[in-house]
Structure formats: C-alpha cells, structure tokens
Amino acid sequence: MKSFTYVLLGGGVASGYAAREFVRRGLGPGELCIITSENAVAYERPALSKEFLRPGGQRRLEDFCTCVRVGWEAQDAAWYEERGVQYFRGVAAVGVDVAGRKLTLEGGEEVTYGKLLVATGSRAALLAEQNTPGAELGGIHYIRSVEDAEGILEGIEECKRRDGRALVVGAGYVGMEVGAALKEHDLHVTMAFPGGMLMDRMLPHDAASHYEEYFAAQGVELCWDSRVTQLSGSHGHVESVELNDDKTLQASMVVVGIGSRPNVELFLGQLELINGGIEVDGSFRSSHPDVYAIGDVASFPLLRYGGHYCRQEHATHARLSAAHAVSAILDPENTADYDYVPFYHSRFFGLSWQFHGVKAGRGVAFGQWEGGMFGMYWVDDGVVVGAFLEGGTNEERRWMRAVAVARPRAPFLDELRVQGVLFGAKVAGADVADRHGSFEKLM
C-alpha cells in the first residue's frame, strides 16, 4: 500500500494545473500522486479539435502539455519526475473508500491519501448508450483523448481510400471544429444535428445565420433537426447512416459529438451530487472535508449569478478551479470563494469567437459580419451580463471580458448598439482615442 499527502485522481487539464500550483507553493517530493487511465501526462485537451486534427497542426504531445498554452513551462513526464510527483499512467481507479481515504487501482493495489482532488472530468456520450443499431461498427469515432484524435487522423486516411464521405453527428463547438477540420482534409462533410441552425444555442437567428452560411460556403452539407437512427455497413465498417427523417447518408467515417457524461460513478452514495456533478462549495470542497472536486466533474455555485450550481466544461475553468482548490487547501485563510465568469471560445476555418458571462435577457447586436468583426451584448434588467465577439483583436476581447466581469448598467439599447466594442473599452478604462476617435463620444 502506498500513501500520499495529496492524490489527484484523473489526468486532464485540471490535474496538470493543480500539480503546478502545488509545486509553486512548495510541495515536497513524494507528497503528491496523480492517477490516470490515460497513457500521457496532462495535456491541453482543447487543442485536439482546435489544432491537432487540422492539416499541418501541431501533433507532438510536448507541444500542448500543460501549461504551455498559457505561456508557462511545459510539464512533460520529466517535469513531474524531477519534482518528485508520482505519476501512475495507464491505470484506472476501480474503487474509492471515501470514509477510509483509500483508492483501489486495477490489479488490486491500494493508495491512501490525506486529501483527494477528484479531477476525473467527463467522457463522450456514446451512440451505444442510446441503443443505436450499428453503433459498434468500425469507422465511428469520438474525441476526448489524444488516442481518439490519432484514431480520427487514421480514419481520415481510411475514408479517403473508401468514398471520401464523412458525417459529423452533433453541432456543438467541438462538432463544428471537427467538421471544419475534416473539410480542410478535403473530405465531403455532412453535419447532422437536432437543432434548427448552427450556433442557435448561443445566438439569435439573425446572428447564427452567418455561421450557417459560412459553413455552407465552405462546402459543408447541413442536416437540421436530425438524429441518427441506424448505422449500416459491411465487413464491420460503417457505410451509411439513417436519420430520423428517413434520409440515408453515405459515409465511411462518422465522428460523434452528442455531449458528455461526468465521471462520478466511483463516488455514488459517498459524496453529494448536484446537476450531474460532485457538489462543492466555493473552495471546491465536497460533502466530505478531505475530498475536493475540480474541472468538469465539479458542480459549484456561480456567485455573481445568484449562486446557482452549475458545471463548466471548459479548459479555463479547469485551470482556475485547480489553482483555487490548491490555494484553499494550503492557504484557506487567504482564499476567498471562487467567483467564476463563464467563458467559451471556438475557432474553425477562418473564424474565431469568444463569449463571456451569461446569456440572459435581450441580445443587442453590434458591428458588421462583412467587416470581419461583430458581436452581441446581453442586457438583463438593465445590466449587461454577457458579451460575445467574433473576430477582433486580443485587446478588444479583453474589453468584452471586462464587461462581463463588471456587469455595468446598460445605456439605451440603440446607443449600446452604436458604441459596440467601444462600450467595452469604456468599461475597461481603455484609452482608445488614437484608434477609434474621440473617447468622449463614449460618455
């Protein structure tokens, strides 16, 4: 039996950043253990769909180990070894005794801990879970790990040897990124999804239609209000997909992005759950004082939005929650409750957008799609609570975040529409006279 002061269960983004924070705060050799079923050390998972899959994209794991993407030192396997962090790779925990502070690993080995940080993340939802006939065929892919991404790259070459036709099931952010990447590999790409329009969960019809038209102009075929009812093939490989409207699509490659499931099964009956995740407080402490949960698997209170509990499946939250939990463990007197502003972003083809805050109340659009930059504010009860920007500079994106953080009173809506990004500059206190004309126009 091995014993550690701290154990990180899971090897995703949150684990990498938690390990860094422990080390930064003086962690001693042999105090921390990381356990993951993945064979790789922690890496920046969003890079898989945003870069790894694209033609010419970076594919060396060391190029996107945590914490490279935020400009910090790359934490490759040697980094952990040099700092005395024990890293169990390729081994799953099969049992947890929360009361006894003990984990059981594959093969029967046991690990005890003083504090456990659960960073088990989430897994892809599967067509097999919906009892979809043919879900076991070859040529059907999901993306959650680097092994998945490597499988998709192999699948692209196999698809080219067959019929060159690929289907993406689902049109969330990852689905759109994957669809764009497959098209850039010169496949014939169809996207089938239950919604009525791309981006319609984020934007109103008029704004979302720009993305719909852009994808269509790139040659991506779109099937709205569609669900997969059956997959068919021969010799164990998919060849066609039937949809709920009786339409049949030819495809020798299918990539499925229909959501995710938080990995909480080990803690059922031992920790309190809420909204599908492990319930935690503002310090990421669970219902057991020696167990914390971070990243995708944590359901935490959104303080500035009424304190309702939510899960956030985003790398930014994974990074911040990891550092916050470690701070709360090591320096609780100087660690306030976590106060997160929701953030999402995506990029595909030549487009790139960010959203900060919450989507509530009335949307106020500004800018021009044709001009390469447009956006939207959401005004709820006279307060600007959310900001979306397509295009723009890094500085202008920081202004959008400043709006979501500050939650300022909104001017008249027509005035807000005219000010556009300059309203964000005003909130951020930026001097933009040289680039945007007289700053007094904002007053």
Whether 339 maps to a domain, the answer reads no
Q: Are residues 254 and 159 in the same domain?
A: yes
Quick one: 134 and 110 in the same domain? no
Report if residue 341 sits inside a domain: no
Q: Are residues 254 and 268 located together in one domain of the fold?
A: no
Residue 344 in any domain: the answer is no
207: helix, strand or coil: helix
Mark whether 187 and 160 lie in a shared domain: yes
- Per the structure, the complete domain to which residue 246 belongs is given by 127-258
* pLDDT reported for residue 432: 55
Amino acid at 223: C
Pair 252, 265 in one domain = no
- Pairwise CA distance, residues 251 & 238, whole Å: 7
* pLDDT the model gives residue 285: 98
Beta bridge partners of 233: 238
The verdict on 50 and 71 lying in the same domain is yes
DSSP label of 393? -
In a domain, 340, yes or no: no
Give the pLDDT of residue 56: 87
361 by Cβ neighbours in 10 Å (0-12 / 13-18 / 19+) ranks as middle
238 within some domain:
yes
The helix (run of H) or strand (run of E) holding residue 190 is strand 188-192
Last residue of a domain, one of 334, 366, 396: 334
Q: How far apart are CA 158 and CA 164, in angstroms?
A: 8
DSSP 428: H
Closest CA to 239 of 221, 224, 252: 252
Q: What is the reported pLDDT for 436?
A: 41
Q: What distance in Å separates the CA atoms of residue 373 and residue 125, rounded to the nearest whole number?
A: 34
Q: In angstroms, rounded to a whole number, what is the distance separating the alpha carbons of residues 141 and 196?
A: 24
3-class DSSP assignment, residue 53 = coil
**119 with 17, same domain?**
yes
Sign of CA dihedral 188, 170, 122, 201: positive
Q: Are residues 9 and 97 in the same domain?
A: yes
pTM for this model (two decimals): 0.93
pLDDT tens for the chain, 443 residues long, are: 899 999 999 999 999 999 999 999 999 999 999 999 999 999 999 999 999 999 988 788 878 899 988 889 999 999 999 999 999 999 999 999 999 999 999 999 999 999 999 999 999 999 999 999 999 999 999 999 999 999 999 999 999 999 999 999 999 999 999 999 999 999 999 999 998 899 998 999 999 999 999 999 999 999 999 999 999 999 999 999 999 999 999 999 999 999 999 999 999 999 999 999 999 999 999 999 999 999 999 999 999 999 999 999 999 999 999 999 999 999 999 999 999 999 999 999 989 999 999 999 999 999 988 878 999 999 999 999 999 999 999 999 999 999 999 999 999 999 999 999 999 999 999 765 444 433 232 22
Count Cβ atoms within 10 A of the Cβ of residue 1 and give its class: 0-12 exposed, 13-18 middle, 19 or more buried. exposed
For β-strands 102-105 and 93-97, DSSP reports them as antiparallel
Claim to verify: residue 118 and residue 265 sit in the same structural domain: yes
pLDDT of the residue at 70: 87
Backbone CA torsion sign across 200, 206, 208, 214: positive
Q: What is the CATH number of the domain that holds 163?
A: 3.50.50.60
Q: 16: which 2 tokens?
A: 């990498």
Encoding tokens for residue 48? Answer: 């898989």
The residue among 301, 334, 367 that closes a domain is 334
What's residue 58's pLDDT?
76
If you ran DSSP here, which 8-state letter would residue 281 be given? -
Side chain identity, residue 25: R
Those residues with Cβ within 8 angstroms of residue 17's Cβ, 6 or more apart along the chain or in another chain = 42, 66, 67, 318, 319, 322, 323
Query: Is 90 a domain residue?
Result: yes
Structure tokens at 362: 């009335």
Same domain? 253 vs 138: yes
- Based on the fold, state whether residues 66 and 157 are members of the same structural domain: no
Number of domains forming the structure of the chain: 3
CATH value at residue 421 = 3.30.390.30
Q: What was the pLDDT predicted at 434?
A: 42
How far, in Å, are 34, 37, 86, 153 from residue 81 at the CA level?
12, 18, 7, 31
Paired tokens of 191: 């996207």
DSSP character at residue 196: S
Q: 151 φ, ψ to 5°?
A: -65, -35
Burial tier of 196 (Cβ tally within 10 Å: 0-12, 13-18, 19+): exposed
Alpha-carbon distances, residue 124 vs 63, 170, 222 (angstroms)? 24, 12, 22
- Considering 233, 258, 283, which residue would you say is the last residue of a domain? 258
Pair 157, 247 in one domain: yes
With residue 16 as reference, give the H or E element that holds it.
helix 13-24
Helix (H, G, I), strand (E, B) or coil at 185: coil
Q: Do the domain assignments include residue 345?
A: no
Residue 205 Rama label (left phi>0; alpha psi -120 to 50; beta): alpha
287 contacts 279 by C-beta, under 8 angstroms: yes
* C-alpha span between 74 and 78 (Å, rounded): 10
Which residues make Cβ contacts (< 8 Å) with residue 170, sequence separation at least 6? 191, 193, 256, 257, 258, 259
